[in-house]
Structure 1
Amino acid sequence: MTGALAAVIPASAASAADCATAWSSTKAYQGGASVSYKGRNWSAKWWTQNETPGASGSGVWADKGACGGSTTPAPAPSTGCSHPNWVAGKFYATGAIVRYTDGKLYRAEHDNPGYDPVISTWYWEPYACNGSTPAPTTPPPTDPAPSGFVVSEAQFNQMFPNRNSFYTYKGLTAALSAYPGFAKTGSDTVRKQEAAAFLANVNHETGGLVHVVEQNTANYSHYCDRSQSYGCPAGQSAYYGRGPIQLSWNFNYKAAGDALGINLLNNPNLVQTDAAVAWKTALWYWNTQSGPGTMTPHNAMVNGRGFGETIRSINGSLECNGRNPAQVQSRVASYQKFVQILGTTPGGNLSC
């Protein structure tokens, strides 16, 4: 990882009635650091950068209460309607209307796990409380594809001209609901960079979305860890690599299945027979697993740590720190090609 972190902010001791220094998306904060945001004080649980207090979904910021002399948030201006106040971290289904702290009403254009309406692309406004619904002053973002994914089907096909017919675009977009923050967090550039980073690593792992299963069958019997209490109910050789990020080992099939609500421990073949399931397992790893790295690939991209950090999270010391520069360069080349297809820039820290 290259480049030094700038402006690391030490913890400060703001009182409950005083507002700490205002949070900045460009600064890095150590664990214990105090900031203020939207009239409330927040404390960082661990190192963070560009994760909005109360809205990032990562849980990094602890709410320390209202500041600036008030013990409760300022009430929203009276609008004569009964829509509830927005609550950070609360799930909202498509179509839900909430009153934000600025007094405006916002409607969920997609299911939303509780991101801040001001920064989330899933909300648009305003909705009047007099029975009318005027045209929004700021139009809702235009999805680049009917699926709402930042990669259109034409772009997907351009990225993977020789892909196996199993890896369908429809399967990918059907899987996106499992992790709604994927490629929908941050600016348009960040969203496109994350999608490109995910697909570039997938491209490398599968030879251009050609291979659905691990090619070395001699390895198949090695992926059963009998020390696990649940064993290998599908068989000793049933947990070989499958899918876009080649899910392997019985404990990974169980963990992914538990997270997704799919019994993959007993039915590992679903990863090679159901395209949506296959894509969901890849998104499970990308969004929830740090692997041999220090953070999830998702967090690496949305927090500006760069494509190189995603390589570290997927293959760690096998490729990084000069161990296998040719493999790293293969991933980087795919990423650079894919961001070009999506009409954006690759950002920094491409290598690990």
Structure 2
Amino acid sequence: MSRFRILAAAATLTVVSALAVVLAPTLASAAACATPWTASAVYTGGMTASHNGHNWLAKWWTQNEAPPGTTGVWADQGTCGGGTTPPPATCNYPNWVAGQWYATGAIVRYTNGLYYIAEHDNPGYDPTISTWYWDPYACSGNPPPTTTPPNPGGFVVTEANFNQMFPGRNSFYTYSGLLAALNAFPAFAKTGSDTIRRQEAAAFLANVSHETGGLVYIVEQNTANYPHYCDASQSYGCPAGQAAYYGRGPIQLSWNFNYKAAGDALGLPLLTNPWLVQNDASVAWRTGLWYWMTQNGPGTMTPHNAMVNSRGFGETIRSINGSIECNGGNPAQVQSRVTKYQQFVQILGTTAGSNLSC
């Protein structure tokens, strides 16, 4: 080969090499991961959190709904940290055991064949009931379980009905949380004729709507009342603090003795940790159903018995707040509940029945 050709070839290689350097694509690095999502944190519109290798943007107020969620509150902002989502872990975790202590981060295989990770320490609570203590966990060969279980036993209120009843509800009060709570009270809205079942569901949700401003408020708004709900004469006192037992949840559970009774019935430490009711949608719904199904309140029967025995919607008001509202105590409040009940039975395709007022 002539010297000219060698030089020409070298020049060609130089140009190609230079082009290769110029044309090599520059890989954009993934965005830095935001602070990891946690179940106990409250997120408002515009806040971000990272979860499973992605950043997520909250569109409105939310708590305890892991991204991507089911309500549409989280917007995926793409991968973070390394540009790729880490592969799912291999499924080789032990079976969940009721009553066994689990520390935060423990992963178990539940009886439905799916996996869950402990978000908080707990003494073996059922992973499908408490989303405060457990979150779905994805691992190789096992997709994460849906956060909205199927309608158990054909619950008479569909998700579409629920959304129609509460168009402006707080995202804390999830339909999935209500469905999960139903497992603890199988007789609710499943006793008697189809009409009675629909009337009971409408009656419960109408009272709930009145108590929470249409499922907007999670806790009692009048903070001046907070210190009044501690009955120190009880043998167990008020271990969570003098002002810890204010109204929370769909029927605004209040007083230390009600938290104690509800916690004992539900297997939850509500006396020492009443904040569970405002942090876990399923727990909140279960406290409301516990009162509805088991407590007479100021009335002479439980709200459940009032409806299934055709005593009328008015008796449910008496059992919830009768000493203040019934017998002329506050007719405007009574009418507010009745009006909502009439709206809800119409949504559920049934009639209101008699004895609507108290």
Bucket of the pairwise TM-score, normalised by the shorter protein: 0.5 to 0.7
Deviation by residue 1:33-53 (Cα, 9 ceiling, x = unmatched): xxxxxxxxxxxxxxxxxxxxx
Q: Tell me the equivalent position of 2:224.
A: 218
Q: Over aligned residue pairs, what C-alpha RMSD do you find?
A: 1.2
Q: Does 1:280 align with 2:260?
A: no
Q: Is the 8 A contact 1:190 1:301 kept in 2?
A: yes
Could you tell me which amino acid in structure 1 is paired with residue 208 of structure 2?
Answer: V
Pairwise mapping of residues 113-192 of structure 1 onto structure 2 (< 5 A)?
145=151, 148-192=154-198
Could you tell me which amino acid in structure 2 is paired with residue 198 of structure 1?
Answer: F
Q: What is the TM-score normalised by the length of structure 2?
A: 0.57
Q: Is the 8 A contact 1:253 1:268 kept in 2?
A: yes
Q: Distance in 2 between matches of 1:226 and 1:145?
A: 42
Q: Distance in 2 between matches of 1:165 and 1:261?
A: 25
Per the TM alignment, residue 145 of structure 1 is displaced from its structure 2 partner at its CA by 4.5
Q: Tell me the equivalent position of 1:327.
A: 333
Q: Does 1:208 align with 2:214?
A: yes
Per the TM alignment, residue 190 of structure 1 is displaced from its structure 2 partner at its CA by 0.3
Higher helix share: 2
- Unpaired segments of 5 or more residues in structure 2? 1-149
Q: Is the 8 A contact 2:190 2:197 kept in 1?
A: yes
Q: Distance in 2 between matches of 1:326 and 1:236?
A: 32
Q: 2:286 aligns to what SS in structure 1?
A: helix
Q: Does 1:197 align with 2:203?
A: yes
Q: Tell me the equivalent position of 2:353.
A: 347
Could you tell me which amino acid in structure 1 is paired with residue 230 of structure 2?
Answer: C
Q: Tell me the equivalent position of 1:265.
A: 271
Q: 1:184 to 1:146 in 2, by over 3 A?
A: closer
Q: Distance in 2 between matches of 1:163 and 1:223?
A: 26
Q: Distance in 1 between matches of 2:228 and 2:324?
A: 19
Could you tell me which amino acid in structure 2 is paired with residue 279 of structure 1?
Answer: W
Could you tell me which amino acid in structure 2 is paired with residue 266 of structure 1?
Answer: T
Q: Tell me the equivalent position of 1:311.
A: 317
Q: Is the 8 A contact 1:147 1:173 kept in 2?
A: no
Q: Distance in 2 between matches of 1:325 and 1:235?
A: 35
Q: Is the 8 A contact 2:152 2:179 kept in 1?
A: no
Match of 1:229 among 235, 255, 259: 235
Q: Is the 8 A contact 2:198 2:345 kept in 1?
A: yes
Deviation by residue 1:281-333 (Cα, 9 ceiling, x = unmatched): 00000000000001000000000000001001111131111221110110000
Deviation by residue 1:89-120 (Cα, 9 ceiling, x = unmatched): xxxxxxxxxxxxxxxxxxxxxxxxxxxxxxxx
Q: 2:183 aligns to what SS in structure 1?
A: helix
Q: Distance in 2 between matches of 1:232 and 1:317?
A: 25
Q: Does 1:244 align with 2:250?
A: yes
Q: Tell me the equivalent position of 1:140.
A: none
Per the TM alignment, residue 148 of structure 1 is displaced from its structure 2 partner at its CA by 2.4
Q: 1:178 aligns to what SS in structure 2?
A: coil
Pairwise mapping of residues 22-33 of structure 1 onto structure 2 (< 5 A)?
none
Per the TM alignment, residue 193 of structure 1 is displaced from its structure 2 partner at its CA by 0.2
Q: Distance in 2 between matches of 1:159 and 1:281?
A: 20
Pairwise mapping of residues 55-94 of structure 1 onto structure 2 (< 5 A)?
none
Q: 1:210 to 1:262 in 2, by over 3 A?
A: same
Equivalenced residue count is: 209
Pairwise mapping of residues 11-50 of structure 1 onto structure 2 (< 5 A)?
none
Q: Distance in 2 between matches of 1:316 and 1:146?
A: 32
Q: Does 1:299 align with 2:305?
A: yes
Q: Tell me the equivalent position of 2:260.
A: 254
Per the TM alignment, residue 147 of structure 1 is displaced from its structure 2 partner at its CA by 6.3
Per the TM alignment, residue 146 of structure 1 is displaced from its structure 2 partner at its CA by 6.2
Q: Distance in 2 between matches of 1:253 and 1:157?
A: 29
- Unpaired segments of 5 or more residues in structure 1? 1-143
